[in-house]
């Protein structure tokens, strides 16, 4: 039930507290509240959270340590030319911040996270760790069949961890909840694209990040409350340019970076932060076999990102053009983690497509613990100004 | 100095044979626009050479072009060219060496123009970068692409589901595209014939690599090993040429073994084996000879390496099997070294350390290559812990000369060899006490 009296400030404060808490108190308390509950950690970019929920588990997004965690031990596991997220994730593990996590999932996004799945098996042998593979072939009888097997193996693993089977009915109920969640997330994104001054990106970011921490039922409430509160409050409208941010689908930018982009004169009207929140583009059907439905949704109705193969060369990169059109953006900011092969190798292809559609762009790199925002603010500011110049010749 | 001048190094028939084979393949590739022979570009790990041959197509391997150009010191300029064109300084330099080469006229290692591929066969095995690399090439060539997704052995094993998935893709995606482009109908018996040849060559290769268990080792399984794996990892697996190459090589090594000889190095035979090492990670190609010298000058012999398993791991028993042609191709792709999870990689190295009676492990960590490099510091710790033997960690790059620092690497290796000496002295003293 939504309480109309909740303000955006209150909701955002709650999200901020969740975001800041690198001991994951919420998840610890959630687990302790009912015997038999499990917590399943997962890394970007996607896992079928419905299965975890149906197994009586809390899916917990593990997105590294951000700029608040001092990485001491994690650095000893990685060379200087590897991105930050694996080292801060190891730090979280070695400092016992994740000691309540029963299962860790490592999706098939890149070689760093892939290899981290094996490191986790060695370093944290009590945790059930699994590399979660997704198909790069999108035919139902080829990639689909493979994926159904993978999903069933994950279902068995979760059942073993929670000590109870995952029934089809429970899975359907979970799919329904996540359908609702994704619909609300899409609504928040659409709301921000319509009135970005009413839903600052740092707020939307924190709200989405909360979705990787709290139970889906609670997140659904939060999203509803936010939509109501954000629509009710009048906030000053700035003459900002409208941009899509892309490339930040794994290691997260510091919150300050998101704020800096807006402060520099760019409203972020779409992004690829935490794609798991809106991976499927429309509802997953509830009728029929739920595992088959999850598989079909991945194959035919999911978002695009660098980790996913695009079989049709004509369509390569068009998702970004569509995002620009859908959100009525005027430009694109490529913000990618340093040393991120998937984001940085994809970038020239996307830039070619944008150039072909006359969409301006800029690019920079960041690390989750970047402190210096001045150069980024300057670059984004110049970009915002040049967009205005182009649009008002 | 532990080397005796031995001019037979350049006279080895196997070496000459390999040189001829490589030159022949480049000649065929360069003649393809004139002969009309169709060209497939594909990757080394999980390459389907036998299948490609079934369609009378030529196999062009961008990684090998980058490697060969690296050895000829051309990649520095190619990489800079790619960076100038907007490719990040942070990404894999094999990709940039290839894209830079294309941008500068697509001249192959022998200076002749390489043909545009008719098909990009994306054998997506053991490395995520492959997918982006071929998407970038597709963007450039606008040619047909076939994707073969090879699942990763996340739990350290190959499941029936993985094999079925790869076989289905071969049947429904890869073979139809090869048929369409070549105009040749698939003949499974032809494939069986090639696979039988592959197995014969594989048998001889394993025999050769395992001679390094002898003391002294008659081979260097890394610096020499990269030559030994050349034919089988590239455009020759399944050919009579490859069978003959490995037969010749086996005969040569049999003789060296019988004579109690050490490995051949660029300056002759290594006569005193002082350190037996296992090496993890690819070598640096732009300063390959200098890098090798840092080892053989100290009497260090690599007795086993993981890089020599990157295009196929045969010493655990896998052979291409003509009785199960497609399934065996699938198992081959699934079994390549970097498609194995980290615990399996560590187990393999540990096994090498024991079976090859190694004094230590050297990791050459490659800046470019997350597939190999992410997690190597844990590999080092684990191996040191499990074997009690010291490890060394050095950093370089495959083909970017900016990341090969000879003085640093040499210093690091020299202190490492001293450390091994001290450990030996320590254990001798402990035994005597
Ligand atoms: S930031 Fe990029 S390279 Fe690093 S783990 Fe994530 S996807 Fe992989
Ligand atoms: S990342 Fe490593 S395995 Fe992949 S293409 Fe580059 S060098 Fe090869």
pLDDT digits over A63-108, tens only?
999 999 999 999 999 999 999 999 999 999 999 999 999 999 999 9
Taking CA atoms, B247 is separated from A249, A316, B14, B206, B212, in Å, by 51, 47, 9, 12, 17
Is 80 exceeded by the pLDDT of residue A393? Answer: no
Query: Is residue A121 very low, low, confident or very high in pLDDT (cuts 50, 70, 90)?
Result: very high
Under 8 Å between Cβ of A180 and A278: no
Nearest to B88 among A118, A150, A347 (CB): A347
Query: Is residue B85 very low, low, confident or very high in pLDDT (cuts 50, 70, 90)?
Result: very high
Task: Please identify, by atom number, the ligand 2 atom nearest to the C-alpha of residue A341.
Answer: 1
Under 8 Å between Cβ of B123 and B49: no
Under 8 Å between Cβ of A199 and A188: yes
The 10s digit of each residue's pLDDT in A137-164 is 999 999 999 999 999 999 999 999 999 9
E strand or H helix at A256, and its extent? helix A255-263
Residue among B95, B366, B373 to mutate when testing ligand 2 (max atoms within 8 A of CB): B95
E strand or H helix at A246, and its extent? strand A241-246
The 10s digit of each residue's pLDDT in A14-60 is 999 999 999 999 999 999 999 999 999 999 999 999 999 999 999 99
Residue of A nearest to B381 (CA): A77
**Which range, of A125-129, A378-382, A385-389, averages the lowest pLDDT?**
A385-389
Q: How far is A176 from chain B (nearest CA, A)?
A: 29
% chain B with pLDDT above 90: 94
Of all ligands present, the nearest one to the C-alpha of A111 is: 1
Burial of B289 (0-12, 13-18, 19+ CB in 10 A): exposed
How much is the pLDDT for B51?
A: 98
β-partners of residue B275 are B300
Q: How far apart are CA A54 and CA A35, in angstroms?
A: 16
Is 70 exceeded by the pLDDT of residue A273? Answer: yes
Q: How far is B167 from chain A (nearest CA, A)?
A: 9
**B124 pocket-lining for ligand 2 (C-beta < 6 Å):** no
Is 50 exceeded by the pLDDT of residue B353? Answer: yes
Under 8 Å between Cβ of B285 and B72: no
Q: How many CB atoms lie within 10 A of CB A259?
A: 16
Contact with chain A for residue B85, Cβ under 8 A = yes
Asked if omega into A299 is within 30° of 0 (cis), the reply is no
The 10s digit of each residue's pLDDT in A5-19 is 799 999 999 999 999
Q: Are strands A57-61 and B275-280 parallel, antiparallel or unpaired?
A: unpaired
Burial of A80 (0-12, 13-18, 19+ CB in 10 A): exposed
Q: How far is B397 from chain A (nearest CA, A)?
A: 11
pTM: 0.96
Q: How far apart are CA A2 and CA A301, in angstroms?
A: 30
Contact with chain A for residue B252, Cβ under 8 A = no
* φ/ψ of residue A89, rounded to 5: -70, -40
Query: Is residue A1 very low, low, confident or very high in pLDDT (cuts 50, 70, 90)?
Result: very low
Q: How far apart are CA B213 and CA A345, in angstroms?
A: 42
**B254 pocket-lining for ligand 2 (C-beta < 6 Å):** no
Closest residue by Cα to residue A157 from A102, A210, A75, A107? A102
Query: Is residue A392 very low, low, confident or very high in pLDDT (cuts 50, 70, 90)?
Result: low
* Per-position DSSP letters for B114-153, written without gaps between them: PPPPSEEEEEE-S-SHHHHHHHHHHHHH--EEEEEE---B
β-partners of residue A314 are none
Under 8 Å between Cβ of B2 and B264: no
Mean pLDDT along residues B280-288 = 97
Instruction: Name the average pLDDT for chain A.
Output: 96
Is 60 exceeded by the pLDDT of residue B345? Answer: yes
Write out chain B residues lying below 8 Å of A133, CB-based: 151-152, 154
Q: How far apart are CA A220 and CA A237, in angstroms?
A: 28
Contact with chain A for residue B373, Cβ under 8 A = yes
β-partners of residue B270 are B3
Contact B135 A310 (CB under 8 A): yes
Is 70 exceeded by the pLDDT of residue B29? Answer: yes
CA trace torsion B298, B302, B307, B308 (10° rounding): 130
Is 50 exceeded by the pLDDT of residue B3? Answer: no
Q: Are strands A38-42 and B144-149 parallel, antiparallel or unpaired?
A: unpaired
Write out chain B residues lying below 8 Å of A139, CB-based: 172
For chain B, how long is the longest CA-to-CA vector? 76
β-partners of residue B361 are B278, B391
Contact with chain A for residue B374, Cβ under 8 A = yes
* B195 CA distance to ligand 2 middle (Å): 26
Is 60 exceeded by the pLDDT of residue A2? Answer: no
Q: How many CB atoms lie within 10 A of CB B21?
A: 20
Q: Are strands B275-280 and B360-366 parallel, antiparallel or unpaired?
A: parallel
Query: Is residue B432 very low, low, confident or very high in pLDDT (cuts 50, 70, 90)?
Result: confident
Query: Is residue B7 very low, low, confident or very high in pLDDT (cuts 50, 70, 90)?
Result: very low
* B95 CA distance to ligand 2 middle (Å): 8
Mean pLDDT along residues B223-243 = 96
Mean pLDDT along residues B319-335 = 98
Is 70 exceeded by the pLDDT of residue A3? Answer: no
* φ/ψ of residue A37, rounded to 5: -75, 150
The 10s digit of each residue's pLDDT in A352-367 is 999 999 999 999 999 9
Q: How far apart are CA B238 and CA B56, in angstroms?
A: 13
The 10s digit of each residue's pLDDT in B252-276 is 999 999 999 999 999 999 999 999 9
Q: How many CB atoms lie within 10 A of CB A95?
A: 18
Under 8 Å between Cβ of B86 and B68: no
Is 70 exceeded by the pLDDT of residue B101? Answer: yes
Is 90 exceeded by the pLDDT of residue B9? Answer: no
Q: How far apart are CA B317 and CA B27, in angstroms?
A: 35
Write out chain B residues lying below 8 Å of A142, CB-based: 165, 168-169, 172-173
* B91 CA distance to ligand 2 middle (Å): 10
Residue among B122, B338, B368, B374 to mutate when testing ligand 2 (max atoms within 8 A of CB): B368
Under 8 Å between Cβ of B342 and A115: yes
3-state secondary structure B259-326: CCCCCEECCEEECCCCEEEEEECCCCCCCHHHHHHHHHCCCEEEEEECHHHCCCCCCCCCCCCCCCHH
Q: How many CB atoms lie within 10 A of CB A48?
A: 31
Q: How far is A110 from chain B (nearest CA, A)?
A: 6
Is 90 exceeded by the pLDDT of residue A245? Answer: yes
Give ipTM to 2 decimals. 0.96
How much is the pLDDT for B426?
A: 87
Write out chain A residues lying below 8 Å of B88, CB-based: 344-345, 347, 365
How much is the pLDDT for A389?
A: 86
Is 90 exceeded by the pLDDT of residue B11? Answer: no
Closest residue by Cα to residue B335 from B152, B184, B127, B195? B152
Which site among B378, B400, B403 would you substitute to test the A interface, given the most A Cβ atoms closer than 10 Å to its Cβ? B378
How much is the pLDDT for B335?
A: 97
Instruction: Name the average pLDDT for chain B.
Output: 95
Q: How far apart are CA A189 and CA A276, in angstroms?
A: 14
Q: How far apart are CA B186 and CA B196, in angstroms?
A: 17
Q: How far apart are CA B386 and CA B388, in angstroms?
A: 6
How much is the pLDDT for A5?
A: 72
Write out chain A residues lying below 8 Å of B346, CB-based: 122
Residue of A nearest to B380 (CA): A77
**A337 pocket-lining for ligand 1 (C-beta < 6 Å):** yes
Contact A117 B154 (CB under 8 A): yes
Mean pLDDT along residues A245-255 = 98
How much is the pLDDT for A228?
A: 97
Is 90 exceeded by the pLDDT of residue B380? Answer: yes
**What are the strands of the beta sheet with B391-396, ordered from one edge?**
B300-305, B275-280, B360-366, B391-396
Which residue has better confidence, B9 or A378?
A378
Mean pLDDT along residues B351-356 = 98
Q: Whose CA is nearest to atom 8 of ligand 1?
A: A110
Q: How many CB atoms lie within 10 A of CB A204?
A: 24
């Amino acid at each position: 039930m939504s309480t109309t009296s909740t303000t955006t400030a209150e909701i955002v404060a709650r999200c901020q507290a969740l975001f800041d808490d690198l001991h994951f108190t919420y998840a610890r308390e959630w687990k302790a509240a009912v015997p038999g509950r499990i917590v399943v950690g997962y890394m970007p970019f996607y896992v079928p959270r419905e299965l975890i929920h149906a197994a009586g588990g809390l899916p917990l997004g593990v997105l590294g340590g951000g700029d608040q965690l001092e990485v001491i031990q994690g650095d000893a596991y990685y060379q200087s030319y590897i991105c930050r997220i694996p080292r801060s994730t190891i730090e979280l593990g070695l400092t016992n911040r994740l000691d309540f996590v029963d299962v860790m999932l490592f999706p098939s996004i890149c070689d760093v996270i892939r290899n981290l799945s094996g490191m986790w098996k060695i370093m944290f042998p009590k945790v059930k760790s699994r590399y979660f593979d997704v198909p790069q072939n999108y035919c139902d009888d080829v990639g689909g069949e493979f994926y159904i097997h993978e999903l069933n193996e994950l279902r068995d693993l979760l059942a073993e961890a929670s000590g109870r089977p995952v029934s089809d009915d429970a899975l359907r109920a979970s799919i329904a909840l996540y359908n609702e969640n994704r619909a609300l997330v899409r609504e928040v994104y659409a709301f921000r694209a319509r009135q970005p001054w009413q839903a600052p990106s740092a707020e939307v970011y924190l709200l989405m990040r909360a979705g990787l921490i709290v139970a889906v039922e609670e997140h659904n409430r939060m999203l509803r409350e936010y939509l109501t509160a954000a629509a009710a409050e009048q906030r000053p409208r700035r003459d900002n340019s409208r941009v899509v941010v892309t490339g930040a689908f794994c290691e997260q930018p510091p919150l300050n970076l998101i704020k800096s982009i807006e402060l520099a004169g760019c409203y972020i009207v779409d992004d690829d932060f935490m794609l798991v929140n809106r991976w499927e583009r429309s509802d997953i059907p509830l009728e029929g076999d739920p595992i088959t439905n999850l598989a079909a949704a991945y194959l035919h109705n999911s978002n695009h990102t660098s980790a996913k193969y695009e079989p049709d060369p004509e369509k390569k990169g068009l998702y970004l053009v569509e995002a620009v059109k859908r959100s009525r953006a005027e430009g694109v900011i490529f913000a990618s983690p340093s040393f991120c092969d998937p984001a940085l190798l994809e970038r020239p292809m996307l830039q070619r497509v944008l150039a072909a559609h006359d969409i301006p762009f800029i690019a920079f790199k960041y690390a989750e613990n970047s402190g210096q925002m001045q150069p980024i603010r300057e670059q984004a500011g110049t970009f915002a100004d040049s967009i205005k110049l182009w649009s008002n010749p | 100095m532990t080397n005796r001048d031995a001019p037979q190094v350049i006279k080895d028939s196997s070496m000459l044979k390999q040189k001829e084979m490589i030159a022949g393949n480049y000649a065929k590739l360069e003649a393809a626009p004139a002969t009309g022979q169709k060209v497939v570009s594909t990757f080394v790990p999980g390459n389907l050479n036998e299948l490609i041959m079934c369609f009378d197509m030529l196999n062009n391997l961008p990684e090998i072009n980058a490697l060969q150009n690296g050895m000829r010191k051309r990649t520095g300029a190619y990489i800079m060219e790619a960076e100038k064109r907007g490719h990040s300084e942070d990404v894999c330099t094999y990709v940039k060496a290839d894209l830079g080469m294309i941008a500068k006229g697509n001249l192959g290692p022998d200076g002749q123009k390489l043909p545009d591929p008719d098909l990009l066969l994306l054998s997506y095995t053991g490395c995520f970068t492959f997918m982006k690399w071929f998407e970038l090439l597709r963007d450039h060539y606008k040619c047909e692409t076939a994707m073969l997704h090879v699942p990763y052995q996340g739990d350290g094993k190959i499941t029936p589901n993985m094999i079925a998935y790869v076989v289905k893709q071969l049947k429904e995606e890869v073979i139809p595209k090869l048929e369409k482009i070549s105009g040749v109908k698939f003949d499974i018996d032809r494939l069986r014939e090639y696979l039988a040849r592959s197995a014969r060559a594989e048998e001889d290769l394993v025999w050769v690599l395992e001679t390094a268990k002898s003391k002294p080792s008659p081979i260097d399984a890394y610096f020499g090993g990269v030559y030994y794996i050349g034919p089988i990892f590239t455009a020759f697996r399944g050919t009579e040429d490859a069978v003959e190459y490995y037969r010749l090589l086996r005969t040569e090594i049999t003789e060296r073994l019988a004579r109690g000889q050490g490995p051949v190095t660029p300056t002759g035979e290594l006569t005193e084996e002082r350190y037996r090492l296992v090496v993890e990670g690819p070598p640096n190609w732009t300063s390959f000879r200098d890098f090798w010298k840092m080892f053989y000058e100290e009497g260090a012999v690599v007795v086993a390496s993981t890089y020599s398993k990157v295009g196929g791991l045969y010493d655990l028993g896998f052979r291409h099997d003509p009785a199960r042609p497609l399934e065996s191709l699938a198992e081959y792709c699934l079994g390549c070294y970097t498609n194995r999870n980290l615990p399996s990689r560590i187990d393999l190295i540990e096994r090498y350390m024991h079976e090859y009676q190694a004094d230590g492990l050297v990791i050459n960590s490659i800046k470019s290559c997350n597939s190999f490099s992410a997690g190597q510091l844990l590999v080092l710790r684990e191996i040191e812990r499990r074997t009690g033997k010291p490890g060394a960690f050095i950093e370089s790059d495959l083909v970017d000369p900016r990341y090969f620092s000879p003085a640093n690497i040499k210093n690091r290796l020299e202190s490492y060899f001293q450390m091994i000496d001290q450990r030996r002295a320590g254990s001798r003293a402990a035994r005597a006490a």
